[in-house]
Amino acid sequence: MTDMLLNITPENIRPLVEKIGAGERISPREALTLYREAPLSLLGVLATGVKEQKSGREVFYNRNFHIEPTNICAFHCAFCSYRRPADAPDSWRHSLDEVLEQATRYRDSGVTEVHIVGGADPLHDLFYYEQMIRQIRAVLPGVTVKAFSAVELDFMIGKAGLSLEEGLRRLKEAGMETMPGGGAEIFDEEIRRQICPEKSSADRWLEVHRTAHRLGMPTNATMLYGHIETETHRIDHLDRLRRLQDETGGFNAFIPLKYRHAGNELSHLGEVPITDDLRTLALSRIFLDNFPHLKAYWPMYGQQTTQLALAFGADDIDGTIDDTTRIYSMAGAQDDRPVMSVEAMRQLIREAGYIPVERDSFYKAV
């Protein structure tokens, strides 16, 4: 760490700056101090240093699309703008034929990943989704299937009467190669009781990912921030993820997800400012020293904030999307029809001073 950086650092956090500069791990207590007391600009410099140790000047993107089989869900989460009752006029439940039709549109398109998430559908168990994956792989044999949050998996596997390992093994054999990180929300049990009491517990979410890692299936992880939680809850969440990554090494990327307030039971809370977004990104990059990548999910942040995020530790912006996800648009995100061309993503990354690299789902350059 340069003397100039230490000269502009508040005295009480200089030891933390030196520790991070030396590549040493910070504790949850130190992370809280850093989050609350470090200037935002300093957090950006520190997070950029950590990012560049891991991925240099490269920032990643991919060519992907989403399939959302349904927005009908067995759970009633206070923060969710996506769920609809089965009889609502704006609910949907796509048949296997309709899902296959969506996938077929991307044959020979150059996409390398299909991302499948939706509600925990009360009508379907694992065997239905196993069939879905097999059919998608038949029409898109070279495309990676990244499918289902841990909460969806826990629900569908339990409904089928299988153990987690049996269920995940069946899905892997059907062609599911990796998992997204959704459903984590905030791990603190009291917060979870208030915002998503029906959902899988934090321990169960972690166990789903632990089992996937044991089966050789890499996954991502998320955190939904900016609602009723505190900074302490956020750092506890990061600490639980870091401990599981120490154990398994199976996480590819961490994705902080900003709570969006339109159309849900917590709308009265509003949303945290961009400075909180950047502070959370930077602290996540510094604290999660064993995670290879930090993603700024552009359909959630919008393109301008995503570009700013590249100066606060992010080294991935997700993909082309092609207007195939409604999860954040239904919650009031800026891009209500999310689509970004490859050239637009490359330009966004270049303008931030970084090198755009197209990747596959496992961060290998394409």
End-to-end CA distance of the chain: 34
Is 119 exposed, middle or buried (CB count within 10 Å of its CB: 0-12, 13-18, 19+)?
Answer: buried
| Residue 289: pLDDT over 90 | yes
Condensed to tens digits (0 to 9), the pLDDT of residues 256-283 reads: 999 999 999 999 999 999 999 999 999 9
- Token pair of 89 as six digits: 């006029």
**What pLDDT is attached to residue 334?**
62
Condensed to tens digits (0 to 9), the pLDDT of residues 89-124 reads: 999 999 999 999 999 999 999 999 999 999 999 999
**What pLDDT is attached to residue 363?**
98
Task: Give the neighbor-by-neighbor strand order of the sheet with 251-258.
Answer: 219-225, 251-258, 293-294
Measuring CA to CA, how many Å separate 137 from each of 112, 127, 143, 146, 349? 12, 16, 7, 11, 31
Non-local CB neighbours of 162 within 8 Å, separated by 6+ positions: 126, 170
Condensed to tens digits (0 to 9), the pLDDT of residues 75-91 reads: 999 999 999 999 999 99
* Residues of the chain above pLDDT 70, percent: 96
Summary mean pLDDT of the chain = 95
Are 81 and 330 a contacting pair, CB within 8 Å?
A: yes
| CATH number among 3.20.20.70, 3.10.20.740, 3.40.50.1220, 3.30.420.40, domain 39-358 | 3.20.20.70
Length of the chain: 366
| Residue 1: pLDDT over 60 | no
* Domain spans of the chain, in order of start: 39-358
| Residue 4: pLDDT over 70 | no
For residues 181 and 301, what is the distance between their CA atoms, to the nearest angstrom? Answer: 17
Condensed to tens digits (0 to 9), the pLDDT of residues 209-240 reads: 999 999 999 999 999 999 999 999 999 999 99
- Token pair of 282 as six digits: 């930077």
For CA atoms 95, 100, 101, 105, the dihedral sign is positive
CA dihedral 40, 41, 42, 44 (to 10 degrees): 90
**What pLDDT is attached to residue 52?**
97
* Residues of the chain above pLDDT 90, percent: 92
φ and ψ at 84, to 5 degrees?
Answer: -135, 150
The stretch 184-200 carries a mean pLDDT of 98
The stretch 297-302 carries a mean pLDDT of 94
| Residue 330: pLDDT over 90 | no
User: Torsion-angle region of residue 302: left (phi > 0), alpha (psi -120 to 50) or beta?
Assistant: left
**What pLDDT is attached to residue 5?**
64
Angle between helices 274-287 and 40-55 (to 10 degrees): 40
